[in-house]
Chains A and B, each alone.
Chain A
Amino acid sequence: MKRKGKAGSPPGEPAAGNGILSRRIFLEGALAAGAATAGASSAAAQPLAIEPWMKTPGVGFDAYGQPSRFESKVVRAITSPPNPATQGVGTARTPLELLDGIITPSGLHFERSHSGIPNIDPDRHRVVIHGLVKRPLVFTLEALARYPMESRIAFVECAGNSGALNAPKAAPLGMAAIHGLLGCQEWTGVKLSTLLDEAGVDPTARWVIAEGADSAAMSRSIPLAKAMSDTLLCLYQNGERVRPSNGYPVRLLVPGFEGNMNVKWLRRLKLTTGPAMARDETSKYTIVLKDEKSWQFVFPMEVKSVITRPAPGIALRGPGFYEISGLAWSGNGRIKQVDVSADGGKSWAPAALHGPILPAAPVRFRAAWQWNGGPAVLQSRATDDTGMVQPTRAQFAEERGLRGVYHYNAIASWAIDAKGEASNAYA
């Protein structure tokens, strides 16, 4: 009972500056007691109404369920291509600020395509394994579906996610435009190692070149060691067949590695001694550093987090209690800790992490915040189980400059103004 707040007092103990409260209110249930007083509005509620849907039966069943018509704004943000003749080149971005939990709804998973979404007939689709193998093999979808399957919850993040934060000035962009190239699904499929073992990998092979059946034949080189460890040929996404925009009928999951390597519409795997030096591992997805050099083959999406609420477009409604909620992930392992700040990184307190905490999967974190109505800068900082801590923007820029475009994982900030509006800021 000690933590039960008096009327007007914060619903929990202060844990960091500018109103960040102890995460214990999530862990020990002290929130309910406190919030009842701190969150109480002065005006009494209206009498309860009997609504029409309470008196007449609803509609019948849907063969495939859809979100409520009141949720029609929860959609992906589509960037139109610079050339109307090249539809399907570009991105559809996930509205992370309107979602919760860790699993992205299949229809809202971000999409990055290089030549539109191919219309693949699964009966005619083939996956071929060749190159440095004893027996080149071809697989029908039916054949792939007969193998023992594995499921895992994992994120896929485009290497270009949050790339807008490389800009010298913080642009007035929203959640999806900045951070919306992140999704997490339960992926189910066949281990690539099973198929490679069946083909018999030649001891000289070091790389697997994966290629899609899209009209850009998007292609990436994957180190053999990764292909043999946890790479999956996914047939299912969140329990149903992979969606066309996510690689139907079969796509790779290369857990923790940059999104582009998770080749969609997979048709061909060629084993080689060296990488292909494909356009998307030379021209793109390489990182220009501070000097003339560029990093090439930047595989893991390193430790990162973003606050998904509050966020631009979701205004706070006056001073009082708010939950700060977000996602933290690392391509190198599990999330160990997330800290949250409301004063632009001057002081931090640990957030509550909600399990399951899985490798190469996002974790939902939550922190309690008593907003006093004044200016605030909200930040989150993740640490993974390799000990890697998400860098500040200054540390990030110090290491590699801000010309790299890809793999931006520095601490991000939302500035809260007196009206309670959140906006992109650098702090």
Chain B
Amino acid sequence: MHMLRPLAVGIAVAAAAPAFAQAPQFGQPIAPADIAPWDISIGPDGVGLPPGSGTATQGEAIYAAKCQACHGEKGSGKPNDPLVGGMGTLAPDKMPTKTVGSFWPYATTLFDYVRRAMPFQESQSLTSDELYAVSAYILHLNGIVGATDVLDAQSLPKVRMPNRDGFIPFPRNPK
């Protein structure tokens, strides 16, 4: 009989278990509109691009004012990364100069990155129009878009980057 008591307790706990079986849930529901200020993701298909537009001609002044001090005149680089040039340097036996123009596969990445991280001292400070314009200017410096081509949510994802097909998957990723 002595053994029965703990056993009975065990059964009682097991019977009550369904009430406790639920995993702990401490997340609070949040409406998409309340996430929107943080949702700066832009896909390579352009999903997430905001309304607005700009051209390289408009972007030149923004670049000179907000970017040139670190990325050099016309994106030539120094003290920070060059944003133009390097075309052809991926060829075998050359040392690659990887820039937006020579290496980046998607133009959407340029808009996304400049919006999230640039200008370095004050990220997310440019308006959508300014972002389209300065992206257009950098693409224009690389000979990818014309000076007056309008970049917006529709046209930016369609920009064909020179190294678009330059990437292959790593063959040894875990399944």
Contact = CB atoms under 8 A, between A and B. Distances in A.
Given A139-B26, A215-B123, A277-B105, A293 B166 contact: yes
A406 B2 CA distance: 67
A301 B45 CA distance: 30
Given A83-B70, A274-B43, A137 B30 contact: yes
Given A86-B70, A283-B98, A147 B174 contact: no
Contacts of A98: none
B78 to A, nearest CB: 8
B109 A278 contact: yes
Interface residues of B, number: 54
Contacts of B42: 276
B113 to A, nearest CB: 4
A254 to B, nearest CB: 11
B40 interface: yes
Q: Point out which of B79, B92, B169, B173 has the most chain A C-beta atoms below 10 A from its C-beta.
A: B173
A85 B29 contact: no
A218 B43 CA distance: 15
B104 A136 contact: no
26 contacts: A82-B79, A128-B35, A130-B35, A137-B29, A140-B28, A144-B26, A195-B27, A198-B27, A199-B27, A216-B123, A219-B41, A225-B175, A270-B41, A272-B43, A274-B43, A276-B42, A276-B44, A279-B113, A282-B105, A286-B167, A287-B170, A288-B98, A294-B168, A299-B173, A332-B174, A403-B95
B32 interface: yes
Interface string B53-83: 0000000000000000110000000111000
B174 A148 contact: no
Contacts of A82: 78-80
B112 interface: yes
A296 B170 contact: yes
B36 to A, nearest CB: 10
B121 A216 contact: no
Given A297-B170, A300-B174, 7 more contacts: A86-B80, A115-B117, A135-B29, A217-B123, A282-B103, A294-B168, A403-B96
Contacts of B135: none
Interface of A: 82-83, 85-86, 89, 114-115, 128-130, 135-140, 143-144, 146-148, 194-195, 197-199, 209, 211, 215-219, 225-226, 267-268, 270, 272, 274, 276-279, 282-283, 286-288, 290-300, 302, 332, 401, 403
Interface in B142-170: 166-170
Contacts of A277: 43-44, 105-106, 108-109
Contacts of B121: 85
* Secondary structure class of chain B's binding surface, majority of residues: loop
Given A82-B80, A274-B44, A130 B167 contact: no
Nearest to B44: A277
A209 B24 contact: no
B70 A215 contact: no
Contact of B38 (A128, A135, A283): A128
Contact of A215 (B32, B78, B117): B117
B121 to A, nearest CB: 7
Contacts of A225: 175
A266 to B, nearest CB: 12
Given A85-B121, A270-B41, A286-B167, A130 B32 contact: yes
Given A283-B104, A294-B168, A299-B170, A128 B117 contact: no
A313 B84 CA distance: 40
Contacts of A216: 116-117, 123
A292 B104 CA distance: 13
A396 to B, nearest CB: 13
A138 B27 contact: yes
Contacts of A148: 24
A137 B170 contact: no
Contact of A282 (B95, B104, B169): B104
B31 to A, nearest CB: 8
